[in-house]
Structure 1
Amino acid sequence: MAEIVNKTALIVGSGPGISASVARALAGQGYRLALAARNPDKLRDLAAETGAATFEVDASSPAAVSQLFKDAQDAIGLPEVVLYNAAGRLRGPLEALDPETVRRVLEVSAYGGFLVAQQAAKRLVPLARGAILLTGATASVKGFANSAAFAIGKFGLRGLAQSAARELAPKGVHVAHFVIDGAVRSAERPDPATAPDSTLDPDAIAQTYLAVLAQPRSAWTWEVELRPYVEVF
C-alpha cells in the first residue's frame, strides 16, 4: 500500500456528498483531518463530527494553495493523503458560453487540481509514501452536448492523474483518479421510490476510496470507475 505513517489527510473542495463521506470514513480509521473549501462555514457540522480543522481556500490561487498546505501541516501534521474534490460546472450551448466564466470553471476543475497535486508531491516524494486522490466524473471520459466547459476541466484533471501516476508511483506516491459515472445520492436528490440504488451512495463511494488507499503497491490502480448497477455506459 501507499504507506500512511501518521494518518493525516487533507480534503480540498470539501462539502456534502463524496468529500463528507470520505472524511467520515477516514476519521473512522483514526485519521486527523484538514478540510478546505471556498466557504468553510459550510464545514462546521462536518468538522464537529470528524474533529477536522477547517480552512478557507481559493483552489485556483497558487499562493492560497501553498499557504493551505502550510496551515494544514501546522494543524494536523504533514497530510499524507490528499484528496482534490473541487469542480466547476457550467452548462449551455458552445456558442453562448461566456469565455470568462469558462476560464473560471477550468481554473477550479483542472488548474486547482494541478496546484494541489503539485504541493502534495513536493511533500510526499521526499517521504516516498502517501497518496494523491482526484475525483472525476462521467465528463472525465465522455463530453456531453452543452457541457463543454465541464468536459474540458474533467478531461484535464484525468490527464493530470494519468501523468502524475506514471511519474510519482515509482517514487512511492500512489495517485488515483475516480470516475464517478452517475448521479450522487443526497437528501435533496434521493433515489426515486420506483428505482432504488439508481444513484451512487456517497458512503459506498467512500468505501472504494479507502480500498484504493489500502492497495498493496505491487497492485496499484491509477483509475477506477464507479456507477450504479443500472447506469448505461
Structure 2
Amino acid sequence: MIRSTASSGSSQQQGIAAIVGVGPKLGRSIAGKFAHEGYTVAILARDLGRLSRLAEEIASEEKAQVFAIRIDCSDSKSVRDAFETVLSLGFVEVLVYNANYQPPNPTSFQSLPLETFQNSLAVSTVGAFHCAQQVIPSMVERGKGTILFTGCSASLNGIAGYSQLCCGKFALRGLAQCLAREFQPQGVHIAHVIIDGVVGLPRRKSLIVAERSGGGEDGTLDPDALAQTYWQLHVQDKNAWTQEMDLRNSSSTFRFF
C-alpha cells in the first residue's frame, strides 16, 4: 500500500471510498470527485507504480488522503488481501467497481482462447462478487453504503467478436440487480451504470490537447462529467434510488461498446 496525503486542515467526516479499477480516465475522475467531497479514497488496480502516481496527483489537487493498493481482480486471494488493507483504513461507505478486461481487437468465437474468456468473466463478474462480499456486511450492519458497478453497451447487447466482454458484462448486470433487490431494503444503495460510449480525457485536459493540435470535439465522454453522475447516485435520497442508469454523449447516435 502506498499512501499519498495532503492535509486540508479538516477532520474526516465520511467513511472510505474504494474505487476498484483505476486508470487515468474514468477511475481517476471518480476517485478525484470523492476526494474532493471529503472522502478518504482507496484506489485499486494491478499496476501499483501508475496507481501511486495517480494517488499523488489526486492528493495534491484535492488536499485529501489517497491510498494506492494493488489488486488483481481475477485472483480471489489478491482481492481478499487488498480489502484487508482497505478495511483497516475504516468503514467502506462507497465501493465503485470499475474493473474491466477487454482485449483491444474483436476475436471470432472459434479463435477465442478459453483462458481469455475465463479471464474476462473473472475480472468483470467474479472480481465484483468478491469485492462486494468484502464490504456488504459492514454496510448492512450500519444500514448505509453505496455500491456502483460500471457496465457498458455490451451489458445489454451481444456484439460479434466480443463474446468474452459481453458475457462478463451481462453477468455483472445480473449481479447488480440481484444485490439491489437483496440489500437495498437494508439500506445499501446498489446501482449499475452503463457507459454507452468511448471515455476520453477529462474536458479540462482534452481542451489543452485540442488547442495544441488544432482539434475540436471528438464525441467522447468526459470522465469528470461521468464522475459527477456517480457522485449524484451516491447522494440520492433513498426514497428515489436509481438501480440502473444509461449515460452517453449528447451527440451519440448509436451504441458503442
TM-score between both structures, scaled by the size of structure 2: 0.83
Among candidates 22, 33, 36, match of residue 25 of structure 1: 33
SS of structure 2 residue aligned to 1:25: helix
Q: Compare relative contact order (CA 8 Å, sep 6+) and give the higher one, 1 or 2.
A: 1
SS of structure 2 residue aligned to 1:95: helix
RMSD across aligned positions (CA): 1.9
The aligned runs of 1:162-173 (5 Å cut-off) are 162-173=177-188
CA distance in 2, matches of 1:206, 1:82: 13
Q: For 2:245, give the aligned amino acid.
A: V
Per-residue deviation, 1:38 = 1.0
1:59 correspondence with 2:67: no
Per-residue deviation, 1:45 = 2.3
1:214 correspondence with 2:235: yes
Gaps of 5+ in 2: 1-12, 60-64
Of all paired residues, the percent bearing the same amino acid is 39
How many corresponding residue pairs? 227
CA distance in 2, matches of 1:77, 1:203: 26
Gaps of 5+ in 1: none
Among candidates 87, 93, 100, match of residue 73 of structure 1: 87
CA distance in 1, matches of 2:138, 2:49: 28
CA distance in 2, matches of 1:53, 1:158: 28
Q: Which residue in the other structure is 1:158 paired with?
A: 173
CA distance in 1, matches of 2:77, 2:141: 22
- The answer to whether the 8 A contact 2:15-2:93 is kept is yes
Q: For 1:59, give the aligned amino acid.
A: C
1:86 correspondence with 2:94: no
CA distance in 2, matches of 1:169, 1:97: 38
Deviation string 1:130-161 (CA, Å, 9 cap, x unpaired) is 11111111111112111111000111111111
Q: For 1:57, give the aligned amino acid.
A: I
Deviation string 1:170-226 (CA, Å, 9 cap, x unpaired) is 0100001110000111279x8897772611100000010001111000000011010
**Structure 2 vs 1, CA of residues 195 and 100 (structure 1 numbering), >3 Å: closer, same or farther?**
same
Q: Which residue in the other structure is 2:220 paired with?
A: 199
State the 4+ residue runs in structure 1 displaced beyond 6 angstroms: 190-195
